[in-house]
Structure formats: structure tokens, C-alpha cells
Structure 1
């Protein structure tokens, strides 16, 4: 999975809010054509939190069928362990390869409870689990030492960007335990994460502009993408596209998903609107997004 950008496909909805499975298939097909390292359907970018169990089953099943073994399919699961286990069984039956365990609902919890959540879920699924620490979930080094001993827990995705803590976690983990950069707009911090031993990252930008995400990933991997190792390509993409995108994303809560969907629609992808409680971008923000998207595509020589 570290060999390519990790794709988190959007879940397509019709204008009335109902699931658009054909739209999802079209969108995921475009994602697969860009050569991601893995696909993560029905996760945060895919609005897992707004899907019922039948919709989840249909989305994950479609992802497995369309991917056809090309790359791993890692489905999202979450809420408390009992509900997470229900989604896990659905993903298992659909043929998913692994699960991303999203932060539990609402309450803060002690470290024993965070570990217990993974233990209970691992007992109830055959699928490998990747724990996602973000929001109210943050594992201590001692908790990680316990987590790595849970059968089936194979990795940790980090969304806190506390690099001191993350370095301690990576050093405490056994060889082969997987770590992923799950920061919002992960490219912003990709170099810093790689410096502490976490080169693999998820890319929301890949969901609407795989050309930009791919160019950045190649440039970061190769030093700069131009062959002289001075980092100019990475710097240009960060300065002229990624940082302005983050500034736009930060205008309104939920824009981490809403802007991604809006940008995909600007590219002609049939992903539809977001579901409440998220809201689609305002006309002003949509115009700014269109301008920024055009700039980003121009930087990598791609067409709108």
C-alpha cells in the first residue's frame, strides 16, 4: 500500500439523498485507473457516518467487485464495538480485505477502553484491522504495545499529527506493523511523516484530482519529480495548490468532505451532494474551488 496513494472514494448520492450505486461505480473506476495503492470505501471521505447497513453492504460489495483483486479493499467500520462488528460482518461477506476502525462515537474514553474496543472487535471478525487514531482516540505507547499483540490488528492510521508521539509509537511497534499518515489533507505533512518512518498516506485530493495527487506522490518519492532532488515540484504544489486548498477547507466545518465532492462534480464525476449534517459549498466558495482546481491541474499539465 505504500507504493501508491491511498484512495478514499466518495459515496455517490442522487439529489434526493438516495444512494447512487452506478455513480459510485463510475467514480471508483476513475480512481482505479489512476493506480492507487489501495481503496478505502465507506470511510470518512465516503461518508460512512451517514450510511445505513444495506447501503454500506452495497457500496463495499461494489468496491470489491470493481476492484477485482487489483489492490486491497479496506472498508470503514466504527461506532461502538457491537455496531462495528455488524459492519465488519457485512464487509467480510462482501469480500473486503481489511477494515479501517474509525473513532468511536461521542464519548471520551480511557486507554483501557480504547484497547478494549479493538479487542472486542478483533474477536468478532476474521478481517485484519487498522486502528485510526483521530478526534477523541489517541493511543499511548503502552496501549500500542498491547494493541500490537491483539490478533488481527495490523496497523495504525494517525490523524493527530503529533510527530513526537508518533515517533515514539513507531519505535515501540514490532517490525511489519503498518503506519499510515491520516492527517487532513495529508500531503501538507507528508514529508514530516516520512521523516519519522511513515511514508504511506491517504489523499482526499486523489478523489477528485488523481493527476495532482499522483504528481505530488511521485515528486515526493523521487525527491522533486524533476530529477535534481531539490524538492521544487513538491514545494510548488504545496505553495500554489495544497496550502490554498487547506485554507479554503478550513472556512466551514465539514468542508474536508464537502469540498472534495464539489471538486469531483466540477470534474464531471457523478458523486452528487453530501448528506446532512454536511452541507455543500456556498457559491462563493465553489467559485474559489473551481479557480484553485484549475490552478492545480495547470501545474501538473492536466485538463479540467
Structure 2
């Protein structure tokens, strides 16, 4: 079971467009040194959508080898059903500890179809599965409860942000699993999840993806510490001066939820290459804005640490 800040590494590419395994190992290693609660490789931030099966295997195996058992490594899977099953088997062969099930390709799916999709992907390997509620994979509370009862499904991640529906989903899953003793966790999977963490925590969803951890683990940890200890002043300060400006910048261009993360890593001194089409790298003026946002966040972390005597 997971605890703390969850790390979703990017997938570095060389100038020729190949997977840069050395850069990936360094990126994952740096993240591990910063103390995450788990690593989620080849997921949304890792451009799962842009990887072929062979490349996917390279990414997952590199993350597993670098982690060396220090924390669990989950891998993304999803897309067309035959490929999702194939990705799941590759992840198991690479030594992953579990899977994050991303949406099927393009089509809008009825609840019964999502349940069947989850069941078939889960059956393709022996790995535990976290389902991801987002985009065209929208689970009703009843469907979420049904998949939660599946032996291999161990978590539900929400990337929609409908708190009314999520609250009903959490209660439906808890009711479905009552008395079973089955461990099950809920995750906040919203882009730049920190901005919704206070609201999600109010309905019992405390774990979250932190893309910021990729390039500024100091800020990510400072926010997590503030929100979990009830330090409202620091929580509000980081939201106001760092996370909200980052979201404003992110929303300027589709795909910046990934592009800005890679750019942030480069700004902190580790080149991981650009993004693959159809995503685009940030414009120069947006890079400069990102630099200022990061500097502001780091300054807050340094100042509050001094005030707290850390």
C-alpha cells in the first residue's frame, strides 16, 4: 500500500527520438533519492500514449532496475484491449509491482464495457491494478464498486474532479468491500493535483500524483507536509504563489501538463529531451514564466524551512 508523495517520472528521449535509458535511470534515481512513496513509470506524465511496446518495456525495466525494490514500481497500461493486455504482460516480465489502467482508446464506453475491459486487462497478468477514472473511462459508482471487488483491483484513481460523484463512488466502494479485509486505496489523479488536494482529502482521498515532484521535490514535499500537518498558512502560500500560477501557465496550451514538467526538469539541470508529437515543447516566453514560478516556489520552501528551524 502507498503512502506519501507519488512520483510519476517523465520518459526522456534522445535528439534522434529514441528512449534515453541513461537519462531515465538518472531521473528516476534522483527522484528516489528525494523519497517518494512509489514510482509510476510510463504513465500519463511518462507519455504512455507515445510509446510502442518495445519502448514501453525499456522504460518499465529501467525504472524497476533503478528502484531496486526501494519503493513499489507501477507501470501504465491501457489503450486498445489487445495492446493493454500486451503492455500488462510486458510490465510483469519487466518486474513491475503493479499497473495503472489508463483509458481505452478514444471510444466512449458504457459502464458495463469498462467493467469488462478492466476484467480482461486484469486477467492478462498477475499484477495488482489501479483503475483510472478520467477522459472517456468514466466509472459510475456502481461500476467502480464492481471492479473494486475484482481480486486484482486494488485502487481507484480519479482524474475527473466531480467531487459529488467521487464522494458517492468512495462510499459505494467502501460498502462493496465492507467486511472483506481487502486493502484498497483511492488516489487524486487531477493534473497538478495539489490544487485539489484539500477538497479531495475532505472526502477521504488522501493520496495524489505529484508531477511537480519530477522537477521540484522540495516543493512537493513541503506542500505534502503542510497539508498533512494542518499548516494552513504554508498550504495557502504554496497554492497561491506556486501551484495556481503553474496551473494558469499549464492551461495556456493543450499538453503543457507534460511539456512543462520536462521543461522544469531541464531548468533544474537535467536534460530529458522534448516531448513527442502531438505534444509540443513550451514556447520561450512560457519557459521564462516557468522559471519564475519555480524560483518563487523554492524561495517559499527555503523561507518556511528557516522559520520552522528545519
What TM-score does the superposition give when structure 2 sets the normalisation length?
A: 0.93
Instruction: State the Cα distance separating 1:145 from its structure 2 match.
Output: 2.3
The question of 1:195 aligning with 2:196 is answered no
Displaced runs of 4 or more, over 3 A: none
- Report the RMSD for the aligned CA atoms in angstroms: 1.1
C-alpha distance in structure 2 between counterparts of 1:64 and 1:142, whole Å: 34
Number of the residue aligned with 2:287: 286
Number of the residue aligned with 1:227: none
Number of aligned residue pairs: give it.
296
Instruction: State the Cα distance separating 1:252 from its structure 2 match.
Output: 0.2
C-alpha distance in structure 2 between counterparts of 1:149 and 1:179, whole Å: 14
What CA deviation, in whole Å up to 9, does each residue of 1:203-247 have, x standing for no partner? 0100110000010001111111xxxxxx10000000000000000
The question of 1:206 aligning with 2:207 is answered no
Number of the residue aligned with 2:104: 104
What CA deviation, in whole Å up to 9, does each residue of 1:91-128 have, x standing for no partner? 00011000000011111111110111001112211001
| Superposition map of 1:241-256 within 5 A | 241-256=242-257
Whether the aligned pair in 2 keeps the contact of 1:80 and 1:117 (CA below 8 Å) is no
Q: Give SS of 2:166's match.
A: helix
C-alpha distance in structure 2 between counterparts of 1:148 and 1:219, whole Å: 31
- Unaligned 5+ residue runs, structure 2? 304-310
Whether the aligned pair in 2 keeps the contact of 1:12 and 1:23 (CA below 8 Å) is yes
Number of the residue aligned with 1:172: 172
Number of the residue aligned with 2:85: 85
What TM-score does the superposition give when structure 1 sets the normalisation length?
A: 0.95
Q: Give SS of 1:201's match.
A: strand
Instruction: State the Cα distance separating 1:189 from its structure 2 match.
Output: 0.5
Q: Give SS of 2:13's match.
A: coil
What CA deviation, in whole Å up to 9, does each residue of 1:153-208 have, x standing for no partner? 11110001111111111111125321100011100000110110000000010011
C-alpha distance in structure 2 between counterparts of 1:289 and 1:54, whole Å: 33
Number of the residue aligned with 1:182: 189
Whether the aligned pair in 2 keeps the contact of 1:81 and 1:118 (CA below 8 Å) is no
C-alpha distance in structure 2 between counterparts of 1:238 and 1:145, whole Å: 33
What CA deviation, in whole Å up to 9, does each residue of 1:27-84 have, x standing for no partner? 1111001110100000000001111111111111111111111111000001122110
| Superposition map of 1:26-41 within 5 A | 26-41=26-41
Q: Give SS of 1:245's match.
A: helix
- Unaligned 5+ residue runs, structure 1? 225-230
The question of 1:75 aligning with 2:82 is answered no
